[in-house]
Amino acid sequence: MNISFSPEHEKFRDEVRTFLDESLTDDLRTAQRMCPGLFLDYEHNIAWHKILHRKGWVAPAWPKEYGGTGWDLMQRYIWSIETAEADAPDLAPMSLGMCGPMLIGCGSEAQKKELLPRILSGEDYYCQGYSEPGSGSDLASLKLKATSDGDDYILNGSKIWTSHAHYANRMFLLVRSDDSDKPQDGITFLLLDMDSPGIKVEPIVFASGTHEVNQVFFENVRVAKSNIVGKEHKGWTVAKYLLEFERGSGGTASRKIALRRLRSLAREIPWQGSNLSAEGDFAYKLDEVEVKLEAIQFTEFRIMAALSKGQNPGPESSIMKTLGADLGQYITELATEALGYYATVHQPEARTVGNNHTAIGPESGLATFSQYFNLRSSSIAGGSNEVQRNIMAKLVLGL
């Protein structure tokens, strides 16, 4: 695979750099650098989203006819690297990375026409209603009951671990519309407004103190059947299609930046007349991460190549998800090790944009311990590592 840049791509990279220099405020960069969890808060997310939308660059992975950029594989790679290098906010994936591609692949023409522009503009911000108490890995066992009532469904039950449900105005979700046959055959894929009467969002606060996920309760929530994506009772096919995008969306760019920050943190920590990055054992671990990252990068290229030919990400997305989650966690372990007792400093106020607090210990380590805790969930969220390995065993190894 040729991954060198042509003169046109060099020119494109310069254009991207100029745009990032001009558009990224210090506040946006700080918010991203200090982000303690998996997703950046809504305020900074949407601010960056709107800047990108004005430029026409908010959906690099979508086909041009639906509002994508029309960039080739290499341009998208350059974009992901340059934005991560510049500390640009990582946009939450639920709308642009999951719901949009799902609608493009499975939605009706009317749904695409109405809903895709609203995702692009940021008017609609989606959360994902898949998991339920008791139905996570075994998703097909989900129970949120959809009772048919003429042209509507009446929903009763609950979704859990719903990221950013407290910010979202829309949800895509799976409901149990029929339980007479095998579990996969009675599921319907729906879209709804989060301000529908009967929906209640309750926060779930992480051990780190951050609030990203929620439990969402449904009590007699009425949804018109015109909000079904695909066919009634056949939502499982749509659900699986979307999951490939969810799992393939990780990318190595953010981990490359995490490694660069880790190297720079290690250089700040004094060690026997030098600094920690020169200490043999630690230097070995840093290089180990670098090598693993290179390997994951090639899987990322394979996924991008498949997408650029109009194919789906395929089982490579499970490989990517598993290796990426493990490596992301390992980087936070090493950052915690590097900081030693400074890792345990709890100073969330010093992480906020525009604060005037003095950091206790290295400033670049202020979010480290929260990230260490919060990234434990990355090998569970979006399908656990064990479940991904089952998929690889079946689809890649044929076991």
Residues at the contact surface with ligand FAD, assessed by CB under 6 A: 38, 127-131, 136-137, 161-163, 213, 377, 380-384, 386-387, 390
**In the complex, minimum distance from the CB of residue 130 to ligand FAD, in angstroms, rounded to a whole number:** 3
**In the complex, minimum distance from the CB of residue 328 to ligand FAD, in angstroms, rounded to a whole number:** 13
202-210's contacts with Cβ under 8 Å and 24+ in sequence apart are: 203/166, 204/160, 204/161, 206/37, 206/373, 206/374, 206/377, 207/373, 208/36, 208/37, 208/369, 208/370, 208/373, 208/374, 209/346, 209/348, 209/370, 210/36, 210/37, 210/370, 210/374
User: Closer to ligand FAD at the Cβ: 235 or 382?
Assistant: 382
Select the residue whose beta carbon is closest to ligand FAD and give its number. 136
- Find the length of the chain: 399
Answer whether 166's CB lies under 8 Å from 211's CB: yes
The label of the residue with tokens 């906010």 reads 89
Answer whether 34's CB lies under 8 Å from 365's CB: no
Q: Which residues of 197-207 are buried (b: 16+ CB within 10 A; e: fewer)?
A: eebebeeeebe
**In the complex, minimum distance from the CB of residue 19 to ligand FAD, in angstroms, rounded to a whole number:** 30
Q: What is the largest CA-CA distance in the chain?
A: 77
User: Closer to ligand FAD at the Cβ: 139 or 276?
Assistant: 139
User: Closer to ligand FAD at the Cβ: 31 or 127?
Assistant: 127
The label of the residue with tokens 């969002």 reads 201
d(CA 46, CA 152): 32
d(CA 318, CA 49): 27
**In the complex, minimum distance from the CB of residue 210 to ligand FAD, in angstroms, rounded to a whole number:** 10
**In the complex, minimum distance from the CB of residue 302 to ligand FAD, in angstroms, rounded to a whole number:** 24
**In the complex, minimum distance from the CB of residue 73 to ligand FAD, in angstroms, rounded to a whole number:** 28
User: Closer to ligand FAD at the Cβ: 186 or 383?
Assistant: 383
User: Closer to ligand FAD at the Cβ: 36 or 68?
Assistant: 36
User: Closer to ligand FAD at the Cβ: 355 or 390?
Assistant: 390
**In the complex, minimum distance from the CB of residue 136 to ligand FAD, in angstroms, rounded to a whole number:** 2
User: Closer to ligand FAD at the Cβ: 80 or 377?
Assistant: 377
**DSSP state letter for 199:** E
